[in-house]
Amino acid sequence: MTYDAIVIGAGMSGLAAGIRLAMFDKRVLIIEKHSIPGGLNSYYQRRNFDRGGIRQFDVGLHALTNFIKKGEKGKPFSKLLKQLRLSYDDFKLCPQSYSAIRFPGTELRFSNDFELLRSEISAKFPQDIDGFNLLVEKVRAFNELDLSLGYTSSREVLRGILKDELLAEMLLCPLLIYGSAWEDDMDFAQFVIMFKSLYFEGFSRPEGGVRTILGLLMTKLQELGAEVRFKTTVSEILVKNGEAVGVVAGGEEIRAPVVFSSIGFPETAVLAPSLDARPRVGAMTFLESIFVFDRKIPLSSNEATIVFSNNSQTYAYRPAQNYFDAVSAVVCFPDNYEPHVRDGEGTVRVTYMANYQQWKELERSRYLEMKEKVGESALALVKSLVPGLAEKPLFTDVFSPLTIERYTGHFNGTVYGSTDKTRDGRTPVKNLFVIGTDQGFLGIVGAMLSGISMANLHGLMGEAKQGQ
Amino acid sequence: MADVRQIVIDIISDIAPDEDVSSIDDAKSLREQLDLDSMDFLDIVMELRKRHKVEVPQEDYPKLASLQSCVAYLGPKFAAAPV
């Protein structure tokens, strides 16, 4: 069987790349190991034993970053809509109320109106408002899409601009935990991407969660005639004379002159033995606890959509020392996206940093015990954030780095991929390109834009050149 | 002879449905008047190829800057293309 292009992985980047290629009449095959799309942003369901029926959960989605209002132009999300030819309304975006970065004694709120954050900083860090405004100008002027940039430490840049280290720590916290593959620091280009997508633009959630996005992408692919094969594992990327010529998937040899891999750079390298690179596996992996309550939780006591909580003056973004790190957490109240529907069950999600190696070494019964501990700790945190919440959850689910590894195929359960980003998607093997997290764009919107821009650059523009 | 101006406008309205294409100044650059980036220009090129079998090599993308330059550059290509 021969195609014009093969895409490995039906996550956000793979689906978006597939759409772009199929839009211009390429015969595209997307190969996905699992039975459903989404990759790191997939979904699952659990039977509701108490009440009958099932409960649906998103795997990763706390927030869709890069929020825009309808009609806003020149932003990543508007580019995405144009490139995939999707309509704004189809995403049914529900904006956040606001989110909060909470360190001992200090809280900074931000929302989809950037001026909230500026006024918070002006009130709480008056000595640093000029520095902050400088930083904002620097971020605004920075071209983070320049694919040729090298690594610059964000902490160093911040030290040069801000006087109060606490402010730097607080600003970094959401940006690191929502996207950094690097421990404790991030590349300034990535800082800029995250700063724009979280603080300038903000959060929303599609009504229906990640399924809404995946449904749109899958429908588009179908309309364009692209083929998606689920439950099919790629066991080898075929390389001939240093050039990718196809894959072996489900025991079958499938040929194509170009292969896009969204499964991660280290994971891709292993499939192509002649690929002369051993990208590092990122260390950052997480635990997620999901609680379902009998009622919508927030009430008036907590209206924040997402709380970035850190119980220390400094923000340690690194693998937990002891299975999980309860000093720091992200707590997401999905019911606090607009419109605040107040009837029905309520959900709260808590993310902790984890330590893959320690979880890997646990034997089964200890593993389950430890997951229970995580759940208890997370529940105590939720209760501390929501005064008056006394009841027990109807349902609790905790997933670990091992769960992430099992379902995403990412080595060591890493969520933000390798610390070796390819930037322009190129690998030492010709016509084999990396898309998604390990290309270097972040978040759901970033992943889709990665698929789009890599498909444009290596699948369409190259082709246009050959057509001369 | 094909109406190149209309062909380009049709493509722009398909790839950027929110743009008002009714009052474009032919002499001015499209980027100045509409929210079009390099990704959109790639789409114009790809659509020309898909719909009209007209090829625009990458180094000629700047020739699509305004409607006027589109007509000047694409006119002969359309005249030569098999219809």
CB contact under 8 A, B57 and A452: no
Q: Are residues A222 and A113 both part of a single domain?
A: no
All residues at 6 or more sequence positions from A150 whose CB lies less than 8 Å from its CB, including other chains: none
For chains A and B, CB pairs below 8 A equal: 46
Task: Name the 3-class secondary structure at A44.
Answer: strand
Contacts of A23 in chain B (CB under 8 A): 46
Residues A272 and A292 both lie in one domain: no
Give the pLDDT of chain A (468 residues) as one tens digit per residue. Answer: 789 999 999 999 999 999 999 999 999 999 999 999 999 999 999 988 777 788 989 998 899 999 999 999 999 999 999 999 999 999 999 999 999 999 999 999 999 999 999 999 999 999 999 999 999 999 999 987 776 777 899 999 999 999 999 999 999 999 999 989 999 998 898 899 899 999 999 999 999 999 999 999 999 999 999 999 999 999 999 999 999 999 999 999 999 999 999 999 999 999 998 888 899 999 999 999 999 998 887 555 668 999 999 999 999 999 999 999 999 999 999 999 988 777 888 999 999 999 999 999 999 999 999 999 999 999 999 999 988 888 899 999 999 999 999 999 999 999 999 988 898 999 999 999 999 999 988 889 999 999 999 999 999 986 544 433
Number of domains making up chain A = 3
**Helix, strand, coil percent content, chain B, rounded in steps of 5:** 65, 0, 35
Residues in B touching A85 (Cβ below 8 Å): 14-15
The answer to whether residue A89 is domain-embedded is no
Write the CA distances from B40 to A12, A38, A79, B45, B47, integer angstroms. Answer: 21, 26, 9, 9, 10
| Claim to verify: residue A254 and residue A302 sit in the same structural domain | no
Do A305 and A404 lie in one domain? The reply is yes
Contact flag A82-B50 (C-beta cutoff 8 Å): no
Domain match, A328 and A226 both: no
Q: Is residue A447 part of a domain?
A: yes
ipTM above 0.90 for this complex: yes
Structural domain of A274 = 5-48+50-59+209-279+420-466
A70 Cβ under 8 Å from any chain B Cβ: no
Residue of A nearest to B13 (CA): A82
pTM: 0.94
- A290: helix, coil or strand? strand
Q: Are residues A288 and A384 in the same domain?
A: yes
Would residue A86 count as lying in a domain?
Answer: no
Going along chain B from its start, the domains and CATH numbers come out as: 2-80 (1.10.1200.10)
> For residue A96, is it within any domain?
no
Q: Assess if residue A458 is contained within a domain.
A: yes
Amino acid present at A458: H
Q: What is the CATH number of the domain that holds A19?
A: 3.50.50.60
CB contact under 8 A, B50 and A24: yes
Q: Which of B42, B49, B64 should be substituted to probe chain A, the one whose Cβ sees the most A Cβ atoms within 10 Å?
A: B42
Say yes or no for a CB contact (<8 Å) between B46 and A74.
Answer: no
Q: Look up residue A99 and give its two tokens.
A: 């989110």
Does A196 share its domain with A230? no
**Whether A21 contacts chain B with CB within 8 A:** no
Pair A197, A233 in one domain: no
Q: Which of A54, A59, A57, A77 minimizes the C-alpha distance to A67?
A: A77
